[in-house]
């Protein structure tokens, strides 16, 4: 971890039940350690790529094996249909 960045799971006030679902899917800070990015922009792009995967392509069992984006789109479509009735 870099100075100024605090992992919430290490804070005394954090509860395992609150952070464990995210920690299972969020990349460890070790994921990119030693990656040797040429620029900050390249490092930022890697994180953005991971976030796009996480939200648009990662299937989630509690969402009926849909990605979070697919789930939200279906939910919004159902809300629009309900509003138009």
For the chain, what are the domain ranges?
8-83
- Give the pLDDT of residue 68: 93
Using CA atoms, how far apart are residues 66 and 77, in angstroms rounded to an integer? Answer: 15
Residues 13 and 6 sit within 8 Å (Cβ to Cβ): no
pLDDT of residue 17: 45
If residue 70 lies in a helix (H) or strand (E), which one and from where to where? helix 68-83
pLDDT of res. 18:
46
Average pLDDT by consecutive 10-residue portion of the chain (85 residues)? 53 48 55 77 90 90 93 94 86
Return the structure tokens found at 61.
């069992």
pLDDT of residue 33: 66
Written as six digits, the tokens of 82 are 């309900």
pLDDT of residue 70: 95
Tell me how far apart the alpha carbons of residues 36 and 79 are, in angstroms, rounded to a whole number.
Answer: 46
Identify the DSSP state of 4: T
pLDDT at 24: 55
């Amino acid at each position: 971890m870099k100075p100024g960045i605090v992992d919430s799971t290490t804070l005394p006030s954090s509860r395992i039940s609150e952070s464990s679902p995210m920690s299972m899917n969020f990349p460890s800070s070790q994921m990119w350690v030693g990656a040797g990015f040429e620029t900050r922009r390249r490092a930022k792009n890697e994180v953005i790529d991971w976030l796009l995967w996480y939200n648009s392509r990662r299937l989630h069992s509690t969402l009926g094996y849909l990605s979070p984006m697919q789930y939200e789109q279906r939910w919004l479509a159902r809300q629009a249909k309900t509003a138009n009735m």
